[in-house]
A and B are shown apart, each in its own frame.
Chain A
Amino acid sequence: VTLCVVLLLPSLSFLVPSADVISTVEFNQTGDLLATGDRGGRVVIFQREPEDKGGREELGDAGEYNVYSTFQSHEPDFDYLKSLEIEEKINKIRWLPQQNAAHFLLSTNGEQNKTIKLWKVSERDRKPEGYNLKDEEGRLKDISTVTSLQVPVLKPADLMVEVRPRRVFANGHTYHVNSISVNSDGETYLSADDLRINMWHLAITDRSFNIVDIKPANMEDLTEVITASEFHPQHCHLFVYSSSKGTLRLCDMRASALCDKHSKIFEEPEDPGNRSFFSEIISSVSDVKFSHSGRYLLTRDYLTTKVWDLNMEKGPIETYQVHDYLRSKLCSLYENDCIFDKFECVWNSTDSVIMTGTYNSFFRMFDREAGRGVTLEAWRESSKPRAVLRTRRVYTGGRRRRGDVGVDSLDFTKKILHMAWHPAENIIAIATTNNLYIFQDRVHPENQ
């Protein structure tokens, strides 16, 4: 898989570092819109310029993403009861399938007891004119001057993108919300926190169904928490959730109202040779994603990413080492907190390639058919906006090649946690600390 850099899109206000750290990236179902959430509670939506079919793709902005709308989703808040600051960082954004001209997205700020919001993004390119009682500036007319009636008409106006909050789903969670997932039925969605998963109806904000509750009667007995959850892409009754112990549980909502009892549990027995102080931390699953086909699951833990077949519970069918050279460095990664980093993982549109991030602004892509992985770097080469992404390598022994990076020279502050892959084409969005990179494959734009 080769990718050409077509567009490098630095974040607009990267002069404001802390509020601007990108915390989530998500394409909509067509890939024409790309939403990012940041730590300041802001959402920025990018829109893809329509591609020019006249063969002029190499020039101009055709096929590239530009800012479409920006809005403040969550404000910083304070919980007076618990004397806690509530972080406004956007944890997750999910688009709803498009049903009319408007676009809808769900955003959550993830923090304790806080809200999930449904936003309507609509375009307005017309303005009504010719009111009978109001003049052009909206002031009331003197009635005596009105001598005839006219029907107001819509006249073209400058395009305006309006974003309005349509629903606020509040007070559904006591613990930190880590996932939201829209159901294939288009009517419901789930939200998961550390101990519970709730199912909501998009039209009902004051109630939700609790479908998973793993809170023990005595908190002393707590041994695992929920780390991620997702609905099956086709079956509206199935969902999966991952745990801090590295297990995956597939639940069927037809079986019972409360899905504490899983239908299937996927876990890999631990390799006793790899036991260390930090075995529990590195086995915690940070992300789980269904394949587009619905047949496979992709999970990410600290050192590896794994593909599971829904038909086989006893272990993953493929395991890819993301950065195994860190296995001997777990102690220092624990001290500097990097071991708690939660990396995301994504599938490409045909489920043949998987991708995840690592440190030093590197990200990894694994070709499942070939069984090979490649390391790429998200870096802005200002002199060459369009260039082929070179593969990088972390030196772990053997013959050292030019350009290899030593393990001790890796920059652990430059981590790629969040990313997204276009649903149909070879376009990826990679978020570094406060830059968003969009890479497009011009050689193989569509997947064969």
Chain B
Amino acid sequence: MDVKAEAKRIMAVSISKLYTSRTQRGGLRLHRSLLLSMVIKSARDIYHAALMSNTAEKVVPCSPEPETEGRMGTSTDLTTLPDSSVTLSPEAGAVKVAVESRGRAETTGENKENMGCLKPVRDSRKRPGKTVAEPDFLPLKKARLETEEETLRTPRCWRPVDALASLPANRAVAAY
């Protein structure tokens, strides 16, 4: 539980840093934004690992995806980053978070190519049956914390990375 709280806090701090870096003198700093997005990714993956190990006993595997199974099988040492969690399409998910926040700033700059990144996020929002918990680590959502925890614990065959990946991105966008 401590690790989850820690991960939540770090993600909140990181997102607020990303937000304030936009208004900083001298404009957006690519290196710093990249490092912040990596911390967000790390924290999210560790949060997931903690979540998975908590729900390991309760989940009835109904045609579980191989990656999810693999992840649950890894060590429950929550302080280390399980390698398998990295394989569960984290790049697409994680970078969505990073790119959303960077993309926002960079579309005002010279990189028009980043305009395209907004699309995949919107698509995933509309995916039916995937509208699971909004991230409970952001202060605005505190009121709904109880119900979100419950829905997260319900066993189902979804890909948690995608769902959670899209929402923080939206949240980050909303924050802008």
Interface residues of A (CB under 8 A from B): 79, 82-87, 111-112, 174-176, 194-195, 217-225, 227, 244, 272, 275-281, 284, 331, 334-335, 337, 340
| 26 A–B pairs (Cβ distance < 8 Å), ordered by A | A82-B109, A84-B27, A111-B27, A176-B29, A176-B30, A219-B99, A219-B102, A219-B113, A219-B114, A219-B117, A220-B117, A221-B91, A223-B34, A272-B80, A275-B80, A275-B81, A277-B6, A277-B7, A277-B10, A277-B39, A278-B39, A279-B42, A280-B42, A281-B35, A331-B6, A334-B10
Give the distance in Å from the alpha carbon of A111 to the alpha carbon of B46 in the complex.
35
Closest 9 CB pairs of A and B: A84-B27, A87-B26, A280-B38, A194-B30, A220-B99, A277-B42, A220-B95, A225-B31, A281-B35
Q: Does B103 contact A (CB under 8 A)?
A: yes
19 new A-B contacts at CB < 8 Å, known A219-B111, A219-B113: A82-B108, A82-B109, A84-B27, A86-B26, A87-B25, A87-B26, A194-B30, A217-B113, A219-B99, A219-B106, A220-B99, A276-B79, A277-B7, A277-B39, A277-B43, A278-B42, A281-B35, A284-B35, A334-B10
Quick check: B42 and A194 within 8 Å, CB to CB?
no
Q: Does B96 contact A (CB under 8 A)?
A: yes
Give the distance in Å from the alpha carbon of A83 to the alpha carbon of B43 in the complex.
33
The residues of A that contact B153 with a CB separation of less than 8 Å are none
Q: Does B146 contact A (CB under 8 A)?
A: no
Interface residues of B (CB under 8 A from A): 6-7, 10, 13, 17, 25-27, 29-32, 34-35, 38-39, 42-43, 46, 79-81, 91, 95-96, 98-99, 102-103, 106, 108-111, 113-114, 117
Quick check: A112 and B27 within 8 Å, CB to CB?
yes
Give the distance in Å from the alpha carbon of A111 to the alpha carbon of B103 in the complex.
19
The residues of A that contact B102 with a CB separation of less than 8 Å are 219
Give the distance in Å from the alpha carbon of A277 to the alpha carbon of B32 in the complex.
15
Quick check: B113 and A218 within 8 Å, CB to CB?
yes
- Give the nearest-CB partner of A225 in chain B: B31
The residues of A that contact B109 with a CB separation of less than 8 Å are 82
Give the distance in Å from the alpha carbon of A276 to the alpha carbon of B106 in the complex.
29
- Shortest CB-to-CB span from B2 to chain A, Å, is 12
Partner pick for A227 among B31, B103, B111, CB 8 A cutoff: B31
Give the distance in Å from the alpha carbon of A83 to the alpha carbon of B26 in the complex.
10
- Shortest CB-to-CB span from A154 to chain B, Å, is 46
The residues of A that contact B42 with a CB separation of less than 8 Å are 276-280
Q: A220-B117, A277-B10, A284-B35 are in contact. Are A85 and B30 (CB under 8 A)?
A: no
